[in-house]
Amino acid sequence: MKILLFVLPIFIWISCNNQNTEIVETKTILSILEKQQNDWNSGDIEAYMQGYWKSEQLRFASGDKITFGWKKTLSNYQKSYPDKESMGELHFTELNVEIINSTDAVVFGRWKLFRKNDSPHGLFTLRMHKFDDAWKIISDHTSSARKN
């Protein structure tokens, strides 16, 4: 019984500490996505890309194409969105962050662009990794809804 009285508070402390850590990490990840949204909406694709891992191993999948590498992903964004008008205004919604462990997380969400003549939208799944206290997107799978 004495051991239980000693061990139980330790387990409770560990559980509370883990929950607090997850809350902090979730808020950090959401702030990265908020910054990306703001950077996109100000027309700055390079700033938007700072949320991604600057590596040739970065994986970006959309439609039936897979792109590897930060520079190639940036180049594809710049070709697809050459100006502020084509970029529109980006909104992320229904964000759900799942912390897997101290260095890995998955984010699910919806995206929508509001532009002059259309509003493309879809879903995304991001795999994030924490490098030296900085979370980065290491894999992005984005889909677009079918146009009506």
Q: What is the pLDDT of residues 70-85, one digit of tens each?
A: 999 999 999 999 999 9
Tell me how far apart the terminal alpha carbons of the chain are, to the nearest angstrom: 67
Phi, psi of 71 (to 5 degrees): -65, -40
pTM of the model: 0.85
Class of the CATH-defined domain 2-144: alpha beta
Which residue numbers in the chain have pLDDT < 50? 8, 11-13, 16
Quick one: pLDDT at residue 18? 62
User: pLDDT digit string (tens) for 50-75?
Assistant: 999 999 999 999 999 999 999 999 99
Q: Where along the chain do its domains lie?
A: 2-144
Quick one: pLDDT at residue 8? 46
